[in-house]
A = this chain, B = another copy of it.
Amino acid sequence: MSGYMGKILRVDLRNGEIKEEELEEEVAKKFIGGSGLAAKIIYDELSSDVDPLSPENLLIFMTGPLVGVKVPNSGRHAVCAKSPLTGIWGEANSGGTWGVELKKAGYDGIVVKGKAEKPVYLWIHEGGVEIRDASHLWGKDTFETDEIIKEETDEKAVVACIGPSGEKLVKIAAVMNDGKDARAAGRTGMGAVMGSKNLKAIAVRGDKEIPVYDEEKLKELTKGLGKMIAEKAERMGRYGTANIMIMVEEIGDLPIKNWLQGRWIEGAEKLSGERMAETILKRRYFCKNCVIGCGRIVEIKEGKWKLEEQAGPEYETLGAFGSLCLIDDLGAVSKLNEICNKYGIDTISAGAIVAFAIEAYEKGILKESDVGFALRWGDADAAIRLTEMIARKEGIGALLSEGVKKAAEKLGGLALEMAIHSKGLELPMHDPRAYASIAVAYATSNRGACHLQGLTHPLEGRLVIPELGYNEPLDRFDVNGKGIMTAKMQDLMAMFDALTLCKFLIFGGITVTHLVDWLNAVTGWNFTVEEFLKTGERIYNIKRMFNVKCGVSRKDDTMPLRILTHKRGEGGSAEHLPAWNIMLSEYYEYRGWDEMGIPKEEKLKELGLEW
């Protein structure tokens, strides 16, 4: 079965049982890989009422058929489980080199079940699969863990691991990989699931060839594409994901002061990709097979924010800790980024929680006696102290580490106004008031508020995707057709997440046809564009069905009222509010979901899914 190694590793940590399971081609064709295949496994095997932090939860690491072969930007992997943060479908994905290395070690994915009696790590290599003691690693940060494991195993090993936060079951804990290059499967608390299993790390190393059905064809298909992508995404490469910082502030897309404020241009300029390139940027970082190189490696040689060479903050991190908290210091945000990476927590949720806490403090919900110190907008020192407390579950950090939804429910009253999440996941750094489609995309995203499960807003500005019927950019405030567009983009993005390809390819001129051609050349299959997108739809729906079993329905397909109803009155989207309800109605109809948001029987039948 070309493209695939054909094997899924099954590890039961309760008894140390390790099995190899054959990946059936029929299943692979229907769910591809990545979070698609993981969803199929979880839907079939995991009871929806399982406590996410119990041994019964499944933690799945999965690659896709294009990972590691000679297609651009194919070096990602997915991490999936029932989420302890949201209580529904959880998934995150990460770049770097780990996914490719796992395949080279002979596996398309790993399904971990059970809980080890004491801390362990997995060491997967040409010689076999070992469950090793990790007692000496417990408490170590992700940078240290990476180094020690490489020393103990193979200097070329690639390590995915949790930091102290995952160990402590912090609900926003991430699974980190590639050491100081600090790639993160950040969202929905997958690190806490890993911690709940006493699994500190998975180190992989291999030399196997990844089979390709038609090498010649693939070569032909990808010829010149690297150059094209690199050129088209040149700005992304040069200034990283923060290349958009000034533009998003101007357009009203940047969330500021916990989503209350409309403008913050001086701050945005200080945090911009351009400013980073002029100051702390040491070099670019490329994930495996990447031709864009949006990753930042930064270094701060001296001063208050002295920082050794390591991964720098992404746009999302600069938004979450920067504009959301009004911290306008690149050094401070880099320091916050380092803390999150070392402890292993999601920077988006962490920054959003800090912003929530600052607002709660400002409005008297949290007091100095609760926190131990004052919390103020723009106070980097306080943000650092608080982030460390969250990462360590210390003091008020224990409550906050549950995420803004649960924290607000505990604090009650007006705190509920300040908790900016959907389905329990803190919103990422794009504002539905700037791009209408984001409203319905966040509201219906299977993992909770997520811009990447739909990645719709680029179509409301500059991007066209002819295979989906979008030949010219759409108006960003118009709601007509945006429900349908969101559904279509979610199906496409579900395929990206199944193939575990980098989504920035779409900014590099790569369209659906490229993906289909690559997939066919690598696997020998004969997907049409239509079948390819139908597969995305199947995957989107199986995730939805897992969520439905967890209790999700129309009532949950919404967003904080601050986003839906609060006009900011200044900036590039000053007077705009998204008519999410109109888009949602269109979305449901297009999706073939009923009035409660549940896929109809005929739709499931059409997709070959069973209830």
Contacts and interface: CB of A to CB of B under 8 A. Distances in A.
Given A417-B553, A558-B561, A566 B595 contact: yes
A37 B370 CA distance: 40
Contacts of A577: 581-582, 585
A545 to B, nearest CB: 14
Contact of A553 (B414, B564, B597): B414
Interface string A559-584: 01110111100000000011111101
Contacts of A558: 561
**How many copies altogether?**
2
A261 to B, nearest CB: 10
A562 B581 CA distance: 10
Contacts of A589: 567
B555 A596 contact: no
Contacts of A584: 565
A376 interface: no
Nearest to A439: B581
Interface string A590-608: 0000011110000000000
A244 interface: no
A365 B580 CA distance: 28
Interface residues of A, number: 34
Nearest to A558: B561
B561 A565 contact: no
Contacts of A554: 417, 561-562, 565-566
A557 interface: yes
A466 interface: no
A597 to B, nearest CB: 8
A416 interface: yes
Nearest to A563: B581
A255 to B, nearest CB: 14
Given A414-B598, A417-B597, A580-B581, 19 more contacts: A260-B595, A412-B551, A413-B551, A416-B553, A416-B555, A417-B553, A417-B554, A417-B596, A554-B565, A557-B565, A564-B581, A565-B585, A565-B588, A566-B595, A567-B585, A567-B589, A578-B581, A579-B579, A581-B581
18 contacts: A412-B551, A416-B553, A417-B553, A417-B554, A417-B555, A417-B596, A554-B566, A555-B561, A558-B561, A562-B595, A564-B581, A565-B581, A567-B585, A567-B589, A577-B581, A578-B581, A580-B581, A581-B581
